[in-house]
Structure 1
């Protein structure tokens, strides 16, 4: 009976959609150039995903090749992103930045008119950098309490990682890729090598965090110079999705309890935003904050100097002296 059942039930198709040869040709050229430039494979993968959207639109919808597109064709593509794919302005900006790189690497000139016109009309210059709300030290403590008081076997490790992210201001991938060889567990200094901007930088943690970190690493299975500081019970690297999920569950509980407004977007990356705002609030020069956080552009750091959180605090301070 089971054999009949298996034969009669519909099975999901396992077809993989093949890229048109024209699309594949341009993707391969782009990948080769990016690999030659030493770009991280994860970054290349993200770029390829977006580039496929552009190339498929060009080849299948416009029935053209990227090297013959005109200004109006690029306008059609961005209208397609907004009207049909319903992409946010920030995501559209990522496509715009990607196309600037693509046409430069392909040594093609036909994107120049659209780029110049976009700069002149400020099409992509007013997009908001921030995607998430920054986090304060008080809110961080609330989140930490939820995690520490949970029944999870890994609550100490997870809470330590989150506190380290707050202290260091580093990206989750930078923290999880941190090795023993790049960590001074006596001084509390850490060298980040596998960074988004490819430039090494040094970060620190507080003495309290360092004390807990040294307690935690006693139980690590692997302790070689190339082994990760943060690892699972088998000594293997921790997936970034795990920390994101732990953090999200804590935030959801606080929202349910009414301690965080439902409309606030608090995610792991909010720790990095919060660190930027906190350092600026404490009077650290903008260029120092830029270097510490590894911002590629000073504009990114300048954004935090005018952040909503800083403005709200400024308004309250002004109110006190009136």
Structure 2
């Protein structure tokens, strides 16, 4: 089998790295520290996978992490780019991960590389916008597209998208809402399964409450611990799969692009709903610290990013100039 045939059959993704005994001592320490910080298990698992690549590199050049030089880090990131074909975004994730790794293990040798990288503008947390925000009109067109589809779950799917828009929840948070989390009289949900491990309360419109109450009457299971958005293909009350609602959203966006409603160059993804909610709330005068709490962000910096603060700042400067 030649190389082209291998690529067609297996793709070009690098083989997963298996940790050695030496690497495991670092991974164990990192895992313990992250668990102490209450970092979500899925996040820790992904970080461990990436760290295996870094630690394998250390073994390859026969150095311990604490003995690496600035130039060694340069070689590592060149390797990510050239041998593993990592995108700029993935390289940025490695950079941020190594900052955490070296801080937790109390090794200082990454700091010089970090300072130099900042000076050279090599890594930047938000150096490019990976997807576009969404406004109310586009959101409405997406809802309409889902409702007009032939899918027998179209009501449920459109309702999930509506809840995502109104609450600003993450996809996993909305799909994890259970009956016991709902106050239908007040139109409030308690969000438990959060990225930050901190519970918060979100609200929906009264009209959405009425639609939701009509929908959940058809649920197979309605005990307090059951999910409100259930997978209709499985009669045990399991929640809707994350990929399902993502694909429903993608399909609607793709159709609207074909019709010219959404510009082809716009990258609208399901997370754009969360960005759109942040922008909408700020445009309506809701203080940014309140928006931060509603969205469940750890820092105001993230909320500013979600609201596309550069565009907002440019608009504010234009308005200030008119007052001069």
Structure 2: stretches of 5+ with no match in the other structure: 1-8
1:246 to 236, 245, 248: 248
Q: What is the aligned partner in structure 1 of residue 299 from structure 2?
A: 297
Q: CA RMSD in A?
A: 2.9
User: How far apart, CA to CA, are the structure 1 residues paired with 2:297 and 2:267?
Assistant: 22
Q: TM-score, normalised by structure 1?
A: 0.85
Contact 1:277/1:310, CA 8 A, preserved across alignment? no
Provide, for residues 219-250 of structure 1, a one-character-per-residue CA deviation record: whole Å limited to 9, x for no partner: 22222222212111221111100000000111
Q: What is the aligned partner in structure 1 of residue 101 from structure 2?
A: 102
Q: What is the aligned partner in structure 2 of residue 43 from structure 1?
A: 43
User: How far apart, CA to CA, are the structure 2 residues paired with 1:266 and 1:16?
Assistant: 31
Provide, for residues 44-80 of structure 1, a one-character-per-residue CA deviation record: whole Å limited to 9, x for no partner: 11111221221222222x2322122112111222222
Matches within 5 A, 1:15-54: 18-54=18-54
Contact 1:277/1:307, CA 8 A, preserved across alignment? no
For the residue of structure 2 that corresponds to 1:202, the secondary structure is strand
Say whether 1:227 aligns with 2:235: no
For the residue of structure 2 that corresponds to 1:190, the secondary structure is strand
User: How far apart, CA to CA, are the structure 2 residues paired with 1:115 and 1:65?
Assistant: 18
How many residues get paired? Answer: 307
Provide, for residues 143-198 of structure 1, a one-character-per-residue CA deviation record: whole Å limited to 9, x for no partner: 11111011111111100000000000010011111122222122111121221122
Matches within 5 A, 1:138-177: 138-177=137-176
Greater than 6 Å deviation, 4+ residue runs: 311-318
User: How far apart, CA to CA, are the structure 2 residues paired with 1:205 and 1:166?
Assistant: 9
Deviation at residue 217 of structure 1 after TM alignment = 1.2
Q: Tell me whether 130-139 or 88-97 shows the greater mean CA deviation.
A: 88-97
CA pair 114-308 structure 1, distance change in 2 beyond 3 A:
closer
Provide, for residues 277-312 of structure 1, a one-character-per-residue CA deviation record: whole Å limited to 9, x for no partner: 111111111111111111222112223455476579
Q: What is the aligned partner in structure 2 of residue 185 from structure 1?
A: 184
Q: What is the aligned partner in structure 2 of residue 7 from structure 1?
A: none
For the residue of structure 1 that corresponds to 2:74, the secondary structure is helix
Say whether 1:92 aligns with 2:91: yes
Structure 1: stretches of 5+ with no match in the other structure: 1-10
Matches within 5 A, 1:46-65: 46-60=46-60, 62-65=61-64
Q: What is the aligned partner in structure 1 of residue 3 from structure 2?
A: none
For the residue of structure 2 that corresponds to 1:131, the secondary structure is coil
Q: Tell me whether 17-26 or 222-231 shows the greater mean CA deviation.
A: 17-26
User: How far apart, CA to CA, are the structure 1 residues paired with 2:197 and 2:20?
Assistant: 33
Q: TM-score, normalised by structure 2?
A: 0.85
1:276 to 275, 278, 282: 278
CA pair 243-295 structure 1, distance change in 2 beyond 3 A:
same
User: How far apart, CA to CA, are the structure 2 residues paired with 1:192 and 1:99?
Assistant: 31
For the residue of structure 1 that corresponds to 2:50, the secondary structure is helix
User: How far apart, CA to CA, are the structure 2 residues paired with 1:280 and 1:43?
Assistant: 29
CA pair 203-91 structure 1, distance change in 2 beyond 3 A:
same
User: How far apart, CA to CA, are the structure 1 residues paired with 2:318 and 2:72?
Assistant: 49
Contact 1:33/1:105, CA 8 A, preserved across alignment? yes
CA pair 239-312 structure 1, distance change in 2 beyond 3 A:
farther
CA pair 208-313 structure 1, distance change in 2 beyond 3 A:
farther
User: How far apart, CA to CA, are the structure 2 residues paired with 1:225 and 1:120?
Assistant: 54
User: How far apart, CA to CA, are the structure 2 residues paired with 1:146 and 1:255?
Assistant: 12
CA pair 144-315 structure 1, distance change in 2 beyond 3 A:
farther
Contact 1:180/1:225, CA 8 A, preserved across alignment? yes
